[in-house]
Amino acid sequence: MNMEFREMRRRRQLLEETESRAILQRQTAGVLAVSGDDGYPYAVPVSYVCQDEWIYLHSALNGHKIDAIRREPKVSFCVIDQDQVIPETFTTYFRSVIIFGQARIIEEEAEKKEILTVLGAKYAPELPQEAKQEIASQIQRTCVIAIRIEHMTGKEAIELVRQREQR
């Protein structure tokens, strides 16, 4: 798919792709936005893992986000890396990544198990056996979602750019 995405207006604040990917690796929560009921956007916080060109997350088998993805697979996903409010200057020193992509529900059990194992390793690395048992007991009641990254931008506050340039 060759979709044209908007260029970021404040190019100086654009993060390198390697830094955006590092943010995706180190953070543990993001916000998934889908086209919800009656055309209303629906954004929901989720735990996730990023591998190569994919974001993976898990969910209940049914619900608002699952219905929305089945109806319209185009989604966006946002991760906040830094959010430091500076009251004296009425600004925020922020760093974040936004992804646009296509979501799909993973139906094949072996693939679901593989992704759930990766999620378990990220969130409970010291409990591999317990994660394996949890996956086995919950896999039939768990939905796994894969989002193919089509476009990604990372952005940071201009003040952070200036700090880095002064070093």
Question: pTM here?
Answer: 0.91
Q: Which helix (DSSP H) or strand (DSSP E) does residue 86 occupy?
A: strand 74-86
Q: Is 2 inside a domain boundary? A: no
Q: Assess if residue 129 is contained within a domain.
A: no
Angle between helices 128-138 and 109-123 (to 10 degrees): 140
Residue 156 lies in a domain: yes
Q: Which one, of 149, 151, 147, 155, lies nearest residue 6 by Cα?
A: 151
| In-domain check, residue 138 | no
How far the first Cα of the chain sits from its last, in Å, is: 41
Q: How many domains does the chain have?
A: 1
Mean pLDDT of 34-59: 96
d(CA 28, CA 125): 13
CATH of the domain at 80: 2.30.110.10
120 part of a folded domain: no
Mean pLDDT over each residue of the chain, to the nearest integer: 94
Is residue 95 in a domain?
Answer: yes
Domain that holds residue 24: 11-107+144-160
Q: Distance between CA atoms of 75 and 149, rounded to whole angstroms?
A: 10
pLDDT bucket at 137, cuts 50 / 70 / 90: very high
**Is 64 part of any domain?**
yes
User: Over 80: is that where the pLDDT of 56 sits?
Assistant: yes
pLDDT higher than threshold 60 for residue 2: no
Is residue 1 pLDDT above 50, yes or no?
Answer: no
pLDDT band at residue 3, thresholds of 50, 70 and 90? low
Let me know if residue 130 belongs to a domain: no
- b (16+ CB within 10 A) / e for 107-121: eeeeebbebbeebbe
